[in-house]
């Protein structure tokens, strides 16, 4: 795993956008894995500028990492709605190009299996964008998630629900469960870019980059991948040796 410390979040976003845009330019039918949260937003804005400048994304397909259980895709708090607003529309993607797990299906296990199958049918993810949770989670793979886990329903840790409460009117409204791609699913991507910004991510970055590779910090499993890179700003990298 490669670690790149970038001077500030803006430069970080531009660097990642350059990397993703180069992949799309060389392979227009790229399958891109997309993440929610604050860390990737600058990347999506930078990608939109590249599309405005001529980058062709007509054949791009995107798969989200995760989604809350029990929240409609039309709810603005859902990850489906967030990604439509922050990613798909600014890039001019058709609605059918963005795939998000459906946390409202009556049979959630079937929904998870269908999502795994959809990724495989698309040929797998070429380049996966991911963020770090403050507790070291990767997507919604909370501490304790094994390296071979696949898309499934998970219980969200108290830390995760607390961190995400800012998107809801009241902390009690934050869902207790989500559908997430598993660690094993994520590691099947051909290339992975993980993003960490801010001092609240410093402990997770130190554990992922320099600590043991184990389920206590699922992000540490990125070190098992042959083409994974972590972009961090100085605040997120502050606790590294």
Annotated catalytic residue 137: yes
Choosing from 135, 141, 163, 203, the catalytic residue is: 135
Query: Active-site residue 164, yes or no?
Result: no
How far apart (Å, rounded) are the C-alpha atoms in residues 196 and 238? Answer: 11
Q: Which of 116, 126, 142, 233 is catalytic?
A: 142
Read out DSSP for the chain? -EEEE-SSHHHHHHHHHHHHHHHHHH-TT-EEEE--SSTTHHHHHHHHHHHHTT---TT-EEEESEEETT--TTSTTSHHHHHIIIIIHHHT--GGGEE---TT-S-HHHHHHHHHHHHHHTT--SEEEEEB-TTS-BTTB-TT--TT--SEEEEPPHHHHHHHGGGSSSGGGS-SEEEE--HHHHHTSSEEEEEE-SGGGHHHHHHHHHS--STTSGGGGGGGSTTEEEEE-TTTTTT--
148's tokens: 């071979």
Please confirm, yes or no, whether 227 is among the known catalytic residues. no
State the Cα angle at 12 between 235 and 37, rounded to 5°: 75
Catalytic residue of the set 67, 99, 137, 203: 137
Per the annotation, the verdict on 66 as an active-site residue is: yes
Structure tokens at 105: 């299906």
Catalytic residue set: 66, 135, 137, 142
């Amino acid at each position: 795993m490669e670690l790149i410390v970038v001077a500030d979040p803006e430069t970080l976003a531009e660097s990642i956008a350059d990397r993703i845009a180069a992949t799309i330019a060389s392979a227009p039918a790229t399958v891109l894995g997309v993440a929610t949260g604050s860390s990737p937003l600058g990347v999506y804005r930078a990608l939109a500028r590249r599309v405005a400048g001529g980058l062709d994304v007509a054949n791009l397909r995107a798969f989200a990492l995760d989604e809350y259980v029990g929240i409609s895709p039309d709810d603005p708090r859902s990850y489906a709605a967030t990604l439509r607003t922050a990613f798909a529309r600014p890039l001019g993607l058709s609605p059918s190009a963005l795939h998000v797990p459906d946390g409202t299906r009556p049979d959630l296990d079937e929904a998870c299996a269908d999502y795994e199958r959809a990724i495989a049918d698309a040929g797998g993810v070429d380049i996966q964008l991911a963020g770090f949770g403050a507790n070291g989670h990767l997507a919604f793979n909370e501490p304790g998630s094994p390296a071979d886990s696949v898309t499934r329903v998970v219980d969200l840790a108290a830390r995760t629900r607390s961190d995400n409460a800012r998107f809801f009117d009241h902390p009690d409204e934050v869902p207790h469960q989500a559908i997430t791609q598993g660690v094993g699913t994520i590691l099947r991507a051909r290339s992975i870019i993980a993003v960490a910004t801010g001092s609240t991510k410093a402990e997770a970055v130190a554990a992922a980059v320099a600590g043991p590779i184990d389920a206590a910090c699922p992000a540490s499993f990125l070190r098992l991948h042959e083409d994974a890179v972590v972009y961090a700003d100085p605040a997120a990298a502050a606790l590294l040796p």
